[in-house]
Structure 1
């Protein structure tokens, strides 16, 4: 389980930074400062928290000329290198999930890799303060009520959250991807639709 109450999307500044990194990876601190209007130390602090959570990775720029290489930041996900932190968290969630299933056996129609992906995603969501309810048949995760629904900028926040969830699934290595978030009939409810990718 992650840090109780901590969520990468609980801070508007982190949401803006993640949105920028999802739009275009490999950004520098100075680029993020310019785009957000935040001080460099504030951006670095947010980036460190996001890297500690496994949502962002840093890589040193490969230079063929003289000069100090820049550090480039990228949100984890399908097109990005996976975070070692996210991979470790996914392995630990799979171990806990396997132990739970040994104690309380249940049948699943999903492949083992997909089940382990769900373990990682549920663990991440619970650590962020959500109470996810998984429907394996429909490949949905109910996040009702969504603790982020009352926050401003819901469209951007949902886009970022979808990218984060897809990054968790990618780090867990399997066929599932987060496809979309759709609102329910109640404003505080949302449902994550997953898809099996071939």
Structure 2
């Protein structure tokens, strides 16, 4: 005698769909792409306060989300990459800066000018907005050699960025990913959307 299979209830179907959607969202956020908001001006003019960006989390490989070790390595960050990472002095905070030096590089700052391995580091998106030369690592930094498994980072707004010049290197395990696109930009001062920035690729 044929037996009729009971159809799933509507509630069960919706519940399963929601659970699958949540698991997929968690997977994508953990391993593929994650959204971040820019809260400060340290990356002006590349990134403005109120920009919302997407970060590629698998470009440098697949990482263990608990300790940052690589499960599948692709390549390490390169000079000029804009990266999001856990702030070394407070890992609960995320910072965004540009890679200036990689392992083995010798980085120094002389009267605001950045040198890597004795050569000027040319970054078209970096600016110095304060003409004053300060006797601090901001404008005068003795040579430092980037250790293995680390990078040296700086903000594009060179005169207003709390970066490796002050607190040292970023461990590769602390890097969340490479910033690649703006998906939203809100100017809170003028209470308006910066439509011309939406969809821009981050240089």
| TM-score bracket, shorter-length normalisation | under 0.3
TM-score by length of 2: 0.23
Question: Bigger radius of gyration, 1 or 2?
Answer: 2
Identify, as 1 or 2, the structure richer in strand.
Answer: 2
